[in-house]
Structure 1
């Protein structure tokens, strides 16, 4: 688990209307990127004075006129072809690899759509499930294009584009499957110098491999560049304004777009919001606390159930946490069998990721209880390994998607690293362990990986105000493990037209996850442009 959890919508095995698919949030992988988010301010920035009197960078809007060097990209025509599931079309769009030097070459971006089923369409609705590194096209074809409400699909062409460096859009490439297995199994709670050196060595190997295999891309996969690609897509689709639903890291993409192009904002929903004003250390600490909050909720629920392997009725969340930590220590010393064809065993790192994966969605808590019961009472690690593999997007053949590679590439470019040496991690370990007694140590060490990245970060923490933009709906869940609720509160305050919609509950993101109150508020906004009332709360 050497990387911060990709910020995606939770992965689900069952399909119900509007419920998200899972990797693009459970999505992910705690292994390859410590920074986690925030966009590069290479597009320009202004300064805002904070309440303390300090100057704080603010993402500046780009000029309204399209530069002549970019005109060929904005004027291109897409050649659509049938692809994937019936009713979907795919195309390839070109964007400049380097917006500061449009003549330096192109990047090819994969786009997919499903046409509106009604006659009176409102335009296109672009969707992104997060990551960074989650495939928006897979999300569209497997969920959004068939699972969004019928009235939304009737009025909008449902559209997705894999961001540069992700999946079908010239993916960042690093380690192969066997190397990734070694990477994911490496101990991220080192007990001595030897284990620390081994962990640092894996971070270095991962970074060097990305540099060797994807040198052309690594300097040009920032969130700002991906947001500018979205504006080219908007124009190519013939839409005067961008309509968009972004989840998790997708909220950073959407907010960045709004900051760069406020006059082109249509109806934007930012669900499971990210706060771009935070540095990577603060982001990582906040997320560590978020996973602890989610675990506390799981623990309270677990001890009320007869199949809870971590304690019976009357046990406190702290006692549940202590028992889980003791189990992790046992696995650190003595990994258990999993029945995996390649001979992998369940050690502390994979088990921890398996537990974290289930924190994204309370619908996974039953699966987690069963997996923990098998592991703790039968020495069978198959259940926790399955959760971990889902999180890392590893298939039965030992192949990984490029989720973790793209995740690191974007995060390490968007923000300077949280830590630059093992000594810094050790210094801040107590703060991480205070934030989460269960996960703190592992998440602190996971925050080290960007220290060895071959490309220097181009971004910095900044505010996004998007002055002049139409109303933007920001959605926050009060016990969200991956994007803490206060991030949504902060982003809604930063955006000049932000409107906060609150879900009082558990899990990562809120739209399409069971709350009729949330869904009806967002559907009404997408269909008629009316944002939820100020202070709207749902449960």
Structure 2
């Protein structure tokens, strides 16, 4: 075991991809930060939040497709300029701002209760990023972005989105990204390095009950260490907390209605907020929510089926090109690579290796971002030829010193009420290995990894109680590796006034990646009108 001196709370073991990730991540950290390491203090309402501004009085809508008007921000957090840092981070992550798009970016913090039911546990501090055009008025209406825990922090997601938004939308709104619990400013980094590595590196051969029991023990070590470090707030890393944090942000911004864009599991949290606060709903877009009626194992099964289908799209897109680096049958190439790595992990120097399990997790993570598919193709082809450097770069954001692993694990486990025994997980692995050849066993391992976690509970959107909410746009992508399109359909149904938009594309997050979806969302954000009927957008 060795200690990473640049990140004192992380302990790393040798002979796992996780150790190598640290070595490469050191060179990346300076360019990958969302904002400055010391954000300005924010004198916003935190652990002693006063009552939020009253919601607009409910009036029978004269036009059922009309959305609430926008309102200026009244007060709110203090933002210090961090434009250069954020733009450098976007460039390092491969998502630079297009030429001709000028952005002004500020970074700040929002202080919220760590656990609203336990005021004695003190506050949590969430990173905020405000993105506008240069010289924009400070009181522009806010469009708040809540991102997916499996991709980037919401702060970075806001900057990435602002770089792509149509000019008219960026001129109308200040885009504010709020980090989720465990990301960005509130980075969750509590797992013992060897336990984290064991879960990341578990390969397709670790599928019987004995192997699942060993993974359960590793996860138990994570829960024990995290519980001690977090002083009882371990269960606060969940979608329900993010829904509460949105209401805190509404209060801080001084607005009666909040305009929101939720992406991936960020959309799940926003849907929960809508159900709780229908009178505070402004212009809201849920982009890729999951099925609110599912809990594990059905939820994991549905997501795994979606990931397999997304990989088929990835393989087809590669094979259709003139020079696919994975050959005429990319699935067979990747399957062969995983079989070899299961027998012998790929050495990468300094005694470290890349395992089959880590490779599976890197593939699944990048499937949600079609813009990075060429990078994934090249990394897999290079690994097939014996060079793991590309895979290491893909794994750095997952298991590196600023990685998402701890937060993603905590959120997934806290959002589920169901716990699987090693025997049950082994049975699922046997079934899913045949039905989902690439991701099935890893999905079953994820089930058992939640075994020691306190039983949480998912955000389950229901028809808002009391006054109905205004129309809410719900976007579903046909080949989203995170969730099947039926998740958007079910969310729209349960919200009662959801307006469904289906996109026959791939990846997590449809807006603003296609002209059809972009036109519909822009009409909602700019003109305040939702589609009267469900819409299907072509690929």
Give the TM interval when normalised to the shorter protein: 0.7 to 0.9
Distance 1:373 1:132 in 2: 24
1:73–1:266 CA distance, 2 compared to 1 (3 A):
closer
Task: Tell me whether 1:522 sits opposite 2:538 in the alignment.
Answer: no
The 5 A counterparts of 1:392-471 are 392=398, 394=400, 399-401=401-403, 403-419=404-420, 421-453=421-453, 455-457=454-456, 459-460=457-458, 462-466=460-464, 468-471=468-471
Task: Tell me whether 1:332 sits opposite 2:310 in the alignment.
Answer: no
Q: Which sits farther off after the overlay, 159-168 or 274-283? A: 159-168
Distance 2:205 2:434 in 1: 15
Distance 2:443 2:83 in 1: 38
Q: TM-score, normalised by structure 1?
A: 0.76
Query: Aligned residues, how many?
Result: 455
1:387–1:471 CA distance, 2 compared to 1 (3 A):
same
Residue 115 of structure 2 contacts residue 233 of structure 2 at CA under 8 Å; is this kept in 1?
no
Q: Which sits farther off after the overlay, 278-287 or 410-419? A: 410-419
1:471–1:177 CA distance, 2 compared to 1 (3 A):
same
* Superposed CA RMSD: 3.2
Residue 215 of structure 2 contacts residue 449 of structure 2 at CA under 8 Å; is this kept in 1?
no
Residue 23 of structure 1 contacts residue 393 of structure 1 at CA under 8 Å; is this kept in 2?
no
1:120–1:310 CA distance, 2 compared to 1 (3 A):
closer
Task: Tell me whether 1:89 sits opposite 2:89 in the alignment.
Answer: no
Shift of 1:258: 0.3
Task: Tell me whether 1:126 sits opposite 2:144 in the alignment.
Answer: yes
Distance 1:333 1:231 in 2: 50
State the SS of the aligned residue for 2:501. Answer: strand
Distance 2:141 2:416 in 1: 34
State the SS of the aligned residue for 1:98. Answer: coil
State the SS of the aligned residue for 1:113. Answer: strand
Residue 292 of structure 1 contacts residue 435 of structure 1 at CA under 8 Å; is this kept in 2?
no
Distance 2:207 2:145 in 1: 43
Task: Tell me whether 1:277 sits opposite 2:293 in the alignment.
Answer: yes
State the SS of the aligned residue for 1:246. Answer: strand
Residue 292 of structure 1 contacts residue 481 of structure 1 at CA under 8 Å; is this kept in 2?
yes
1:354–1:225 CA distance, 2 compared to 1 (3 A):
closer
Shift of 1:227: 1.2
Q: Which sits farther off after the overlay, 475-484 or 181-190? A: 181-190
Residue by residue, what CA displacement relative to the aligned partner does 1:67-100 show, whole Å, maximum 9, x if unpaired? x985278799755141321633333333333334
1:74–1:343 CA distance, 2 compared to 1 (3 A):
farther
Shift of 1:221: 3.0
Shift of 1:262: 0.4
State the SS of the aligned residue for 2:473. Answer: strand
Distance 1:147 1:537 in 2: 22
Matched residue, 2:387: 380
Task: Tell me whether 1:363 sits opposite 2:371 in the alignment.
Answer: yes
Residue 272 of structure 2 contacts residue 460 of structure 2 at CA under 8 Å; is this kept in 1?
no
Alignment gaps of 5+ in structure 1: 1-21, 25-67
Shift of 1:361: 3.0
Matched residue, 1:348: 356
State the SS of the aligned residue for 2:505. Answer: strand
Distance 1:368 1:189 in 2: 23
The 5 A counterparts of 1:19-168 are 70-71=49-50, 78=76, 80-85=78-83, 87-100=104-117, 102=119, 105-115=122-132, 123-131=141-149, 134-141=152-159, 143-168=160-185
State the SS of the aligned residue for 1:448. Answer: helix
Residue by residue, what CA displacement relative to the aligned partner does 1:260-310 show, whole Å, maximum 9, x if unpaired? 100110000111112221112111000110011112222333334454465
Residue 417 of structure 1 contacts residue 448 of structure 1 at CA under 8 Å; is this kept in 2?
no
Matched residue, 2:227: 211
1:211–1:120 CA distance, 2 compared to 1 (3 A):
closer
Task: Tell me whether 1:302 sits opposite 2:312 in the alignment.
Answer: no
Distance 1:435 1:461 in 2: 28
Task: Tell me whether 1:233 sits opposite 2:249 in the alignment.
Answer: yes
1:507–1:400 CA distance, 2 compared to 1 (3 A):
same
Residue 118 of structure 1 contacts residue 155 of structure 1 at CA under 8 Å; is this kept in 2?
no
Shift of 1:194: 6.2
Matched residue, 1:538: 537
Residue by residue, what CA displacement relative to the aligned partner does 1:147-166 show, whole Å, maximum 9, x if unpaired? 32221121112212223343
1:373–1:385 CA distance, 2 compared to 1 (3 A):
same
Residue 49 of structure 2 contacts residue 248 of structure 2 at CA under 8 Å; is this kept in 1?
no
1:400–1:417 CA distance, 2 compared to 1 (3 A):
farther
Residue by residue, what CA displacement relative to the aligned partner does 1:427-476 show, whole Å, maximum 9, x if unpaired? 222432344122212221122111012x332x257442225101100001
1:146–1:310 CA distance, 2 compared to 1 (3 A):
closer
Residue 321 of structure 1 contacts residue 437 of structure 1 at CA under 8 Å; is this kept in 2?
no
State the SS of the aligned residue for 1:303. Answer: helix
1:280–1:118 CA distance, 2 compared to 1 (3 A):
same
Shift of 1:525: 0.7
Residue 73 of structure 1 contacts residue 94 of structure 1 at CA under 8 Å; is this kept in 2?
no
State the SS of the aligned residue for 2:534. Answer: coil
Shift of 1:225: 2.6
Shift of 1:181: 4.3
Considering Cα pairs closer than 8 Å and 6+ residues apart, tell me whether 1 or 2 has the greater RCO: 1
